[in-house]
Structure formats: C-alpha cells, structure tokens
Structure 1
Amino acid sequence: MPRPETAIIRDFTDADARAVIDLARELQAHEIEVFDRMKPADTIGGWYVDKLQADVAEHGGAILVADCAGELAGYATFLASASSVDEADETLYTYALIGDLAVAERFRRSGIGSLLMAECERRAVAAGQKWLRLNVLAGNASARRFYARHGMGELLLTLEKPLA
C-alpha cells in the first residue's frame, strides 16, 4: 500500500472522475446502513461528479483529492461561500461548507481525512469566512468523533419522528 504520508492534496481533474465515483459509492454504501433514505450506491455515476462540479462552480469551491502515489485515497468537496438563507438561523450570513469528505477504506485512520480537513479549513480562511460547516448523519458515530477531533461542534440538530 502506498504510504499515506506521501499524499498530496490537489484539485480534482477529469482523470479522477472514476475514482471519485468509486469513493462516493463506498461512502454511500456505508451511509445507507445508518440512513435508509439514501440512493443505492450502484446508482452513483457520472451525474454525481457533474453535480459536484456544478456545486463548486456555483459556490466558488473545489473538489479536492488526496493523491497517494497516484492512487486516489480520498476526496472532499469544498464550497467557499454557502448561505444561511434556507437554514434555521435568524440572520443571513455566509460560511464555507464541506459537502462530502470520503476516504477509501484502506486509507482510513491514516491521516488522509485530516489532510483533507486541513486543506478545506485553509481555503475557508483564505476565502475570508468565519465559519466552516459540514453535515453528518447522527448515526455515523465514527465520522462524528473524527469531526469533533478537528474542532467541529454540533450547531443545529434535526429531530424526526416516524409516522405510521
């Protein structure tokens, strides 16, 4: 296995599309275990990369990849300017947002996720933002612990009650 300490964080290129799709499918397969309203992993395809590219173009961001000796070890979508307009906040403001952060299973707990988080934070500061946000499934305990170790705290919680 390539050594994670040799990983570099760089911007996505079209040559990364297949690997990002594979990682998104891996993430989706994991998340569907804790939230059954996710799309099946095998439905993630080229349309998903197109959506990520449109999101980062609209919000001044980037798809970041962790390249470990030519192998894609992880990716993150970074949006430099998202708006609180559709949220529960009473005042309007902008913040940076991490849309996705996924690390290939064989690279987990190796520092790849931390490298991606650090680059997202660096870019958020460079964009002049005061806050960096992300969403995580409440049932994804390992991801919540990872984000807490990186200074992320709970801000808004969505509660739900199944009906009938």
Structure 2
Amino acid sequence: MRTATYQPAREEMARTGAINYEINQSWLPMMTDGRLQEKLTEMLNGLGAGSSILPPLQIDFGRQVTLANNVFINHSVMMSAAGGIEIEEGVQIAPRVNLITVNHDLKDKMIVICKPVHIKKNAWIGAATTILPGVTIGENAVVGAASVVTKDVPDNAVVVGNPAKVIRTIEM
C-alpha cells in the first residue's frame, strides 16, 4: 500500500469504509426508512433481490462482493474481500462470520496473495465461522459454528471443526 500502484485499492477501501461507517452509525433508522438497502447497493458489486446484511458489518473492498437473490447475512460479518467474494442464491450466514480472501507471502510479507471465496446456493454458514482464501462452499452445504474452513466443501456436506472436516452428507 506504499506505492502509487496501490492507489486504486486505497481509494476503494476509503469509499467502502465511508459507507461502512455511515451504515454502522445509523443502521436502525436506515432499516426503517429503506436507506440501508440503498447503501448496501451502493457499496457492493451486486445485491440481489430479497438479500440483506444486518449491521454492524465490516467490508474492505465492496466492489469485490456480489450477493445473489435471497441471501441473508446476520450481524457482525467481516469480509476481507480484495480477492472477490461471490455468494449465491439462498445462502444463510450467521453472526460473526469472517470471509477472508487475502493472505501474505511467507517470505515477503509485503506481497499480498488474493484468492476468491465462493459460497454456492442454499449453503448455511454457522456463527463465528472463518472461511479462508480460495475456498468454495458447495451447494446446500452446512458449516458448523466456530469452524475454520481451509479447503473446499463438497455439495450437501456438513463440516465442523478447526480445520473443518466433513462429518456427514445431507441426502437431498
């Protein structure tokens, strides 16, 4: 972030940060009069019909986040989104979930490595879960509360733990 190369990133973080601040300071009246959805639409790359995020929230690169239709994200979500976050239709996300798309090179910590997070249709992410860079959560998958997801989750799987492991498959 110290060179001119990072100027667009700094500008996007400032833009998103200003919207985060406004939402987090005034979310209750915004929910009542409809401005919350307007602000989320302004912040994100896409906000599908019937989708919502309950404040408070923390997102750093709003233009890197896309929510499809009927997504519900409960309060206190943190999205480190430089690598891109795509959340498909019908996903439910519980409170205090961390979606992380950024890491640093082990040898040179000034090198940022970005990998997307993708959550497929109808997945359910439990409270206080952390999803790490490059992970895809499969359709209809369930991630148990307080899990740390380090690898892709198959469709229709239930995963729990740190690191998260498959404990069963859901018959659909």
User: Same fold per TM (> 0.5)?
Assistant: no
Structure of greater relative contact order (alpha carbons < 8 Å, 6+ residues apart): 1
Q: Which has the higher strand share?
A: 2
